[in-house]
Chains A and B, each alone.
Chain A
């Protein structure tokens, strides 16, 4: 037990260091947006932006519920919550990649297209990897590998998912709301 706790503590610290590096990565992208776009933004679908934001925020709640359920030994609630979280993650990807990327703004549309696709593309990659991570803990949970005392995999997945959510909280206004809309 002591060895397991020690490993978990080191892994947990490693995860947070990984998030620090991610903050620099997305911070650089946000810096690029403000440098190139200034007080303007491309004219994007506001309803779709609000919808995908709501979907991602709701998914964070179900991830939180999954982690709480596994900590309290509620396996069915855990499995259902992971399923809902992954589904909402896929719905977010469909909204951004399937619909927003099919809009009038294309990667070849100057700085607006380049910045928009770089930021949403990198974030979508993180969401896709998060969905795979959730599927992994869901399968492990289905096999009964987690207990209320030892479920670090679920905790790590939850923190990663919430991090993706926090990143989008900054990306959404930077891409959809800040500045005046211009036709790219």
Chain B
């Protein structure tokens, strides 16, 4: 059983890593759009990757199937 402090710290760390990855992807998205003249397929891939990060690490999809 982890302590309250430890639990929130781990959550904050995991969230911060996700946020850094999202920031890097967003910056890359902007640079790539400038380089490729706004290539729709490439930018769509960036969007899907960012949405997947938010879904898996922030949205707690697993809770939908959690047993109480």
Contacts and interface: CB of A to CB of B under 8 A. Distances in A.
Contacts of A71: 7
Interface residues of B, number: 35
Residues of B contacting A: mostly: helix
A16 B12 contact: no
A13 B64 CA distance: 7
B30 A41 contact: no
Contact of A74 (B4, B58, B63): B4
B23 to A, nearest CB: 7
Interface centre among B4, B16, B19, B58 (most CB of A within 10 A): B58
Interface string A4-33: 010000001100100000000000000000
Given A61-B19, A162-B54, A170-B51, A77 B8 contact: yes
B26 A57 contact: yes
Residues of A contacting B: mostly: helix
Interface residues of A, number: 41
A180 B37 contact: yes
Given A41-B38, A65-B11, A170-B47, A159 B59 contact: yes
Given A69-B11, A159-B59, A177-B33, 10 more contacts: A12-B63, A16-B64, A50-B30, A57-B22, A60-B58, A64-B58, A68-B11, A158-B60, A162-B54, A169-B47
Interface string B27-67: 00110010001111001101100110011011110011000
B16 A61 contact: yes
Interface in A134-184: 155, 158-159, 162-163, 165-166, 169-170, 173, 177-181
